[in-house]
Amino acid sequence: MRVFKGEVTSLPPDKSISHRAALIGALSEGTTEITNFSGGFDNQSTLGVLKDAGITLRQEDEAGTYGRRIRKVVIESNGLWSFQSPSAPLMCNNSGSTMRMFAGILAAQPFKSELIGDSSLMKRPMKRVADPLRQMGADIELSTSGTAPIMIKGTKELNPIEYRLPVPSAQVKSLVAFAALHAEGETRIIETVRSRDHTEVMLGLETLVHENERIIVVPGRKRIAAKPFYIPADPSAACFIVALGLLARGSESQPYKGGIS
């Protein structure tokens, strides 16, 4: 059996945080600079739908260990209602994160839009996306099997709601939060099992704890000032290298003295 020895000096940027930084940048007023943005195909899908929905952005690329690396993404926006009616369906490719979270933003825009994906994404269930947005007042249509395409007739008059997540889902929590930012009043999102909290932390939302419940408080129509984001490395990307070292007897790895940035 082959023995592996070496040192990992860098890990790719976190995909989940990259998605959210781009979407929050599009909702902010001013210029958002995102450094170390993920160059993954899913994150490119998020940038693609933002551009197709009228958001001005550019990216600066450079070569990296894992192929093309995006050094910086710069997004220019005027706030919550900076989006424009797209001329064609918005292609999310294979990115469920793009489709689900962007649906929350589109539900609050005063125009019709459609989210589609590749053959795999078009088979994934989207009822959990549609249900809370319908409660808020958006007109959402799915296929007869409850999958994409997601047809959205948005409205600037979304209602604030109290929404208890039926199952733990950071994406559903995020799409409700993005929609709630546009509502007239305060929305409360309740989770009994905690999911990752990137969205509420990056937006600076208040969180409350009551007994075994965690409540995310989303104030409606609050101005979001643009700010810079640095995307950290994704520690889970190291699992493949760790597994390789554990499976190959006699292998050794040296910790990167610079840490995970």
Q: What is the pLDDT of residues 121-171, one digit of tens each?
A: 999 999 999 999 999 999 999 999 999 999 999 999 999 999 999 999 999
Comparing 256 with 119, the larger pLDDT belongs to 119
The reported pLDDT for the residue numbered 27 is 98
What span, in angstroms and rounded, lies between the C-alpha atoms of 234 and 261? 9
| Region of poorest pLDDT, from 94-103, 199-208, 248-257 | 248-257
Per the CB < 8 A criterion, the answer to whether 27 and 79 are in contact is yes
246: left (phi over 0), alpha (psi -120 to 50) or beta: alpha
The reported pLDDT for the residue numbered 64 is 57
Task: Give this prediction's pTM.
Answer: 0.90
Backbone phi, psi, residue 217, to 5°: -100, 120
Calculate the alpha carbon distances from 261 to 11, 14, 78, 180 in Å. Answer: 8, 11, 31, 32
pLDDT band at 259 (very low <50, low <70, confident <90, very high): very low
Per the CB < 8 A criterion, the answer to whether 229 and 201 are in contact is no
What span, in angstroms and rounded, lies between the C-alpha atoms of 257 and 186? 46
* Cross-sheet strand order for the sheet of 229-230: 56-64, 67-78, 29-35, 229-230
Average pLDDT over residues 59-88: 85
> Does residue 58 carry a pLDDT above 90?
yes
Average pLDDT over residues 116-120: 98
Identity (one letter) of the amino acid at 111? F
Looking at every residue in the chain, the average pLDDT score rounds to: 91
Examine residue 149 and say whether the peptide bond preceding it is cis (omega within 30 degrees of 0).
yes
pLDDT band at 258 (very low <50, low <70, confident <90, very high): very low
Fold of 9-219+226-254: UDP-n-acetylglucosamine1-carboxyvinyl-transferase; Chain (3.65.10)
pLDDT in tens, 162-192: 999 999 999 999 999 999 999 999 999 999 9
The reported pLDDT for the residue numbered 65 is 53
DSSP strand pairing (187-191 vs 162-164): parallel
What percent of the chain lies above the pLDDT cut of 90?
A: 79
pLDDT in tens, 3-30: 777 677 778 899 999 999 999 999 999 9
Per the CB < 8 A criterion, the answer to whether 77 and 68 are in contact is no
